């Protein structure tokens, strides 16, 4: 694309490779090698390029404005690694140093200067992974995500976070050991304050300096793919940091943010909202996410805070209704549809995931059918209900059993992902382990039961780091995880349990092959409130099935009976109370042959001992003839 066309499409919202136009680029003019710098500041009075190569203010270089509001200059002075900024004279006459919004690398904190850096080409070695991803997609594949904050998974002795070179050596083998299918990182884009966890961004094309170099992250992704692990990254297109040297009121007027003061300001988060209806902002944001997918070979993007982009009244500040008198942000709604359309056209096999907490808008599904085009939506309702239930004293659980079963009423209204994320283990909410009822033994039992329920429930899965071994303390982003916990036998057994549960999930197709409709789920009994036992079947159209039974109270149920659709010898393949996991059972239940007898609508019954506060999963070991001589029931 030539420069005129790049400028034209930028101003019409159709330039989705903006990093090739704006920013700093090696160039040659009149036989002289140097760099061309371009920055969008349409209402600035003047813009000067300053940096190491100008002795900063001493020899600052004036830039020239074109008809699209882009300032440009070519200079032979910069060298790779030099730091630079733009000195912008705003419409008010005030001069201020600003970052380069299209920079691919920034200096180390607390500095915010961009670094002159030409990213090298990479000869990727993940072709087999990408071919499989293209062939298989993800809807009918296992998706079990380990959510990570790159700055606090592990730290060096001096308190600095691991770089991605170190994470490649330590985190990837851990993911393999723990049998996860994907790793998801909280935002990796440049942000000025680590305490924001990356959700207050300044550099939408730059890897955060704290985590190493772009080359190191590319090598990390490649190694993940070689080890059959997908990589997902969080992205924040709704709002950005209010810091004055970043994107905020870039040229002295609303540039990236809304013109209206209240719409521009996110009062609850202390941030500024992007003007999602502005063409140049759409080019900027869609180019950002396409760059991350293309350059880093990402397998998925989790779009943060979708509700904030969809609803005018989502924030705590004042708001005005839309032209129809409602609360929908039409600019945000159509931007998200366009975003997903563009990404899916280029990368149909890349997961687009929405972190969204309402039920007023169809989030997943085709835009042509009224959806926003996302592949998955975080099931926040399920997460809130189920954690509230497991925190409750078991003596009261029969009165709130609907918290466990209500999700089945809407399980297929969207394509859901079931999250136990970082948001649930901070700010006084307590860790997942600490949420569980009872003494330490029962807390571990409850956690094993909870994770098994998550794994058997329709929907893809996500678990935040540290939760896999039951870390008791809340997550602290400025500290490493409590790895010393694993010296405790119960924590070590919990970690082993999670690893084996993840393996169970991967091995049994019925747990992931059909998460999108009732063809993959059959409820046996959701009404056993008095005993607080839930039972259901995960199945496929080939006749495979798993019978999943959950005892939500610390009372062992001997001779417990449920109905089953198939006359067979059943084998218990999972029992959360085994000693191996930290329980008290020395071995699984013995195999059991189903018996003829009507139980609800089922022609067969299955009787076994159900562990206290435990989960039990059964599969068919061998089918047998029923009394009428058939191996298949009418229900099957």
pLDDT at 438 over 80: yes
Mean pLDDT of 431-450: 97
Q: Domain spanning 519-623 has what CATH number?
A: 2.60.40.1180
> What is the rounded average pLDDT for all residues in the chain?
96
Q: What is the pTM of this model?
A: 0.96
Q: Is residue 182 predicted with pLDDT exceeding 50?
A: yes
Residue pLDDT, tens place only, 314-334 = 988 899 999 999 999 999 999
pLDDT on residue 635: 43
Name the active-site residue from 147, 299, 304, 315: 304
Q: Does residue 632 surpass a pLDDT of 80? A: no
Our answer to whether residue 488 is catalytic in this structure is no
Residue 629 confidence (pLDDT): 56
The three-point CA angle 212-155-462 to 5° equals 85
Cis omega (within 30 of 0) for bond into 113 = no
C-alpha count within 13 angstroms, C-beta hemisphere, residue 542 = 7
Share of the chain above pLDDT 70, in %: 98
pLDDT category at 630 given cuts 50, 70, 90 is low
Q: Which residues neighbour 368 within 8 Å (Cβ) at sequence distance 6 or greater?
A: none
Q: What percent of the chain has pLDDT over 90?
A: 95
* pLDDT at residue 227 in the model: 98
Residue 627: is its pLDDT beyond 90?
Answer: no
Write the pLDDT tens digit of every residue in 188-239.
999 999 999 999 999 999 999 999 999 999 999 999 999 999 999 999 999 9
Token pair 């500290």 in the structure block, residue: 479
CATH superfamily ID and name for 142-509: Glycosidases (3.20.20.80)
pLDDT in tens, 85-137: 999 999 889 999 999 999 999 999 999 999 999 999 999 999 999 999 999 99
pLDDT in tens, 249-302: 999 999 999 999 999 999 999 999 999 999 999 999 999 999 999 999 999 999
Q: Does the active-site annotation cover 169?
A: no
Determine the Cα–Cα distance for residues 305 and 332; give it in Å rounded to an integer.
12
What is the number of helices (H) and of strands (E) in the chain? 13, 31
Q: Rounded mean pLDDT of 159-185?
A: 98
Report domain extents, the chain: 3-116, 142-509, 519-623
- Given this structure, which CATH class describes domain 3-116? mainly beta
The pLDDT, as a whole number, for residue 626 is 73
pLDDT given at position 570: 98
Give the pairing of strands 557-564 and 545-551.
Answer: unpaired
Q: pLDDT at residue 628 above 80?
A: no
Helix (H) or strand (E) segment spanning residue 84: strand 83-89
Residues 22 and 101: beta-carbon distance below 8 Å: yes
Cα–Cα separations (whole angstroms), residue 289 to 325, 373, 509: 32, 15, 32
Two domains, one topology: 3-116 and 142-509: no
pLDDT band at 634 (very low <50, low <70, confident <90, very high): very low
Q: Is the dihedral of CA 42, 45, 46, 51 positive or negative?
A: negative
Query: What is the structure's pLDDT at 370?
Result: 84
Q: Say whether pLDDT at 430 is over 90.
A: yes
Q: What's residue 633's pLDDT?
A: 44
Instruction: Look at residue 636 in the predicted model and tell me its pLDDT.
Output: 42
Residues 47-64 have a mean pLDDT of 96
Q: Which candidate in 355, 385, 424, 468 is catalytic?
A: 355
Q: What is the mean pLDDT of residues 548-558?
A: 98
Confidence category of residue 413, pLDDT binned at 50, 70, 90: very high
Beta-ladder partners of 534: 550
Residues with Cβ within 8 Å of residue 77, at least 6 apart in sequence? 34, 53, 54, 61
DSSP-derived secondary structure letter, 161 = B
Confidence grade of residue 74 (pLDDT, cut at 50, 70, 90): very high
């Amino acid at each position: 694309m030539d420069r005129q066309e790049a400028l034209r499409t930028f101003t019409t919202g159709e330039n989705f490779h903006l990093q090739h136009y704006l920013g700093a680029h090696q160039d040659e003019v009149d036989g002289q090698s140097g760099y061309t710098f371009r920055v969008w500041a349409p209402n600035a009075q003047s813009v000067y390029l300053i940096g190491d190569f100008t002795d900063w203010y001493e020899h600052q270089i004036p830039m020239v404005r074109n008809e699209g509001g882009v300032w440009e200059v070519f200079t032979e002075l910069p060298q790779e690694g030099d730091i630079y900024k733009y000195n912008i004279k705003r419409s008010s006459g005030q001069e201020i140093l600003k970052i380069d919004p299209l920079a691919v690398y920034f200096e180390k904190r607390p500095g915010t200067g961009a670094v002159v850096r030409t990213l090298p080409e990479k000869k990727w070695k993940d072709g087999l992974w990408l071919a499989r991803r293209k062939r298989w997609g993800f809807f009918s594949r296992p998706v079990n995500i380990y959510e990570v904050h790159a700055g606090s998974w592990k730290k060096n002795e001096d308190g600095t976070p691991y770089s991605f070179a170190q994470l490649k050596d330590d985190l990837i083998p851990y993911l393999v050991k723990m049998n996860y299918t994907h790793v998801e990182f909280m935002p990796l884009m440049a942000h000025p304050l680590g305490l924001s966890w990356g959700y207050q961004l300044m550099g939408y094309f730059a890897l955060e300096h704290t985590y190493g170099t772009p080359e190191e992250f590319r090598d990390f992704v490649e190694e993940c793919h070689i080890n059959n692990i997908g990589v997902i990254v969080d992205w924040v297109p709704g709002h950005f940091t209010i810091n004055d040297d970043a994107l905020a009121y870039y040229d002295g007027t609303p540039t990236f943010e809304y013109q209206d003061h209240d719409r521009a300001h996110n009062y609850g988060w202390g941030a500024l909202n992007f003007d999602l209806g502005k063409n140049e902002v759409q080019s900027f944001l869609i180019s950002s996410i396409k760059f991350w997918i293309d350059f880093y070979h990402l397998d998925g993007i989790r779009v943060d805070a979708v509700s904030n982009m969809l609803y005018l009244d989502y924030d705590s500040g004042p708001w005005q209704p839309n032209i129809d008198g409602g609360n929908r942000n039409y600019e945000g709604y159509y931007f998200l549809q366009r975003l997903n359309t563009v990404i899916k056209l280029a990368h149909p096999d890349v997961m687009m995931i929405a972190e969204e907490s309402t039920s007023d808008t169809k989030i997943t599904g085709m835009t042509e059918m009224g959806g926003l085009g996302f592949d998955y939506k975080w099931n926040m309702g399920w997460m809130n209900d189920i954690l509230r239930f497991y925190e409750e004293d078991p003596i009261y659980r029969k009165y709130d059993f609907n918290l466990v079963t209500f999700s089945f009423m809407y399980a297929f209204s969207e394509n859901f992902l079931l999250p136990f994320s970082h948001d649930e283990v901070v700010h006084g909410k307590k860790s997942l382990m600490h949420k569980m009822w009872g003494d330490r033994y029962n807390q571990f039992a409850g956690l094993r039961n909870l994770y098994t329920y998550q794994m058997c429930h329709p929907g893809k899965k996500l678990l935040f780091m540290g939760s896999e071994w039951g870390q008791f303390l809340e997550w602290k982003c400025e500290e490493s995880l409590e790895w010393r916990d694993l010296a405790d036998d119960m924590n070590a057994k919990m970690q082993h349990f999670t690893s084996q549960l993840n393996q169970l999930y991967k091995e049994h197709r019925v747990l992931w092959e059909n998460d999108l409709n009732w063809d993959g789920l059959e409820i046996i009994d959701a009404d056993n409130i008095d005993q607080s036992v839930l039972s259901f079947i995960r199945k496929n159209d080939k006749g495979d099935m798993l019978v999943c039974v959950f005892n939500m109270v610390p009372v062992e149920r001997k001779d417990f009976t449920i109905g089953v659709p198939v006359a067979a010898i059943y084998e218990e393949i999972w029992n959360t109370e085994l000693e191996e996991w930290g329980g008290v059972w020395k071995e699984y239940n013995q195999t059991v042959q189903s018996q003829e007898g009507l139980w609800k609508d089922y022609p067969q019954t299955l009787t076994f001992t159900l562990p206290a506060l435990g989960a039990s999963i059964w599969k068919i070991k061998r089918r047998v003839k029923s009394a009428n001589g058939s191996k298949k029931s009418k229900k099957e």
